[in-house]
Structure 1
Amino acid sequence: MRNIFIICLLVIVASSAFAADFVSPIGFEPTESNKSAVIAYVQESVRNEYAVLGINSESALRMMEEENLRAFKKLLTAEDKEVLSRVIKQYCGIGMCNYVTINMMYEEEMKAKNTQLEW
């Protein structure tokens, strides 16, 4: 399991250098231009991530594009923009700048924020 995570991390880091400009969900205005920018970012980043793995299946690409767009839309309703901003900075800083990862880690941060260690 750890090896799979490391491989995925390396793929994402390697592919991030080729991706279009990241569009932050924080303060996103849903204009047609901005929506097009999100779609372009998602398509390019997914294509690059999968190209590194040697996967060029149209069905796999569409599935992951849909997952990223769904995650972006979910991030638009994030309640704690400070936590979201920190997650974006942290994960984009290490090349893991896709909306699925950001959404997953935002949700984990929100869960951790509201829990305490108990015996």
Structure 2
Amino acid sequence: MNHKYLFKIMSTLPPQYPMYSRDYVYVRRYEVNLESNLMILVSRAVQHPRVPESQDYVRVHSYQSKMVIRPHKSFDENGFDYLLTYSDDPQTAFPRYCVSWMVSSGEHLISHLLC
């Protein structure tokens, strides 16, 4: 990968069980391959001395994502297709009825935006 950036993302949620506000500190690397017309982004959680944990947020220590982006024509024009794989440890136990609802409804709990 030829580019690397450090991010801190904070997701503020209403303070209620089982999801509390989270913060993510992660590194994202990406590469653009113009021959295959693909962009690949790889992110993973990291610890960084200049980004200490806060009592106001639950730090997500286990996070990774991979995204492949293929533009319809070129990266300079609108429109693209993508494939995203994502996992993190929410550091909470969801009640069984919540898990059943999430699985049956197809709702996703991605609480941050890709930059």
TM-score by length of 1: 0.28
Higher relative contact order (CA 8 A, sep 6+): 1
Larger strand proportion, structure 1 or 2?
A: 2
Query: Based on CA coordinates, which of the two structures has the bigger radius of gyration?
Result: 2
Larger helix proportion, structure 1 or 2?
A: 1
